[in-house]
Amino acid sequence: QVQLQQWGAGLLKPSETLSLTCAVYGGSFSGYYWSWIRQPPGKGLEWIGEINHSGSTNYNPSLKSRVTISVDTSKNQFSLKLSSVTAADTAVYYCARALEYSSSGRPYRVHYFDYWGQGTLVTVSS
Amino acid sequence: SSELTQDPAVSVALGQTVRITCQGDSLRSYYASWYQQKPGQAPVLVIYGKNNRPSGIPDRFSGSSSGNTASLTITGAQAEDEADYYCNSRDSSGNHLEVFGTGTKVTVL
């Protein structure tokens, strides 16, 4: 059974750097996309970015200038750093595993997040 | 980038059927995946691909797709189905971005 366990600082001051790590237990690290997703209080889900086992990344354009996602395949872990945080970055942050493959016919592709971490509430306050 | 639009809220009587829709251009290329989220919990995958349910998801949940619209149907809604539901797909730009729907609050009466 795959489990994602995440941790990191829950209280930050404005301008500090958010840092979270997600460890993957019980499954292969390769062949998947590993994402960070956040949810501000009372609002919807926002994708932050992803990394694959070889270190290739994709980021949400709205956050790209402040985000770094890295991977440590020796530990089956991936990490998120978000710099220069403000109160607008207050949210529950989730790590998640995504799988993608081609389908026959239209639509052409299947993509989904099958495992999620437990979530970490990060509050930015002075 | 693409957007996925959902109705903010729907209600359904206990045991009846409710359909939640998700609209966006990216759905012409990618199947939507659907997630159930209860208060204080992480989202849970309920439907992916053409109409696939992960292990443990009741068969009253089903999915369909047509053109730029994906639908999640709950047939015989139960009290425990009251939750927020989000659709998701890759962005259609080809840049491997992700987009989530705006979310639908389902209330079971």
Who among A35, A47, A112 is closest to B33 (CB)? Answer: A112
Who among B33, B42, B48 is closest to A117 (CB)? Answer: B42
Q: Which residue of A has its CA nearest to B96?
A: A58
In this prediction, residue B7 carries a pLDDT of 95
Burial B10-26 (b: 16+ CB within 10 A, else e): bebeeeeebebbbbbeb
Q: Do A44 and B101 touch (CB under 8 A)?
A: yes
pLDDT digits 0-9 by tens, B22-62: 999 999 999 999 999 999 999 999 999 999 999 999 999 99
Distance in angstroms (rounded) separating the CA atoms of residues A99 and A29: 11
Q: Which residues of B touch A (CB under 8 A)?
A: 1, 27-31, 33, 35, 42-45, 48-50, 54, 65, 86, 88-90, 95-103
| Model confidence at A80: pLDDT above 70 | yes
In this prediction, residue B1 carries a pLDDT of 54
Mean of pLDDT values over B69-81: 98
pLDDT digits 0-9 by tens, A15-53: 999 999 999 999 888 999 999 999 999 999 999 999 998
Which of A24, A30, A10 has the alpha carbon at shortest distance from A89? Answer: A10
Q: Which residue of A has its CA nearest to B26?
A: A107
Q: Do A111 and B31 touch (CB under 8 A)?
A: yes
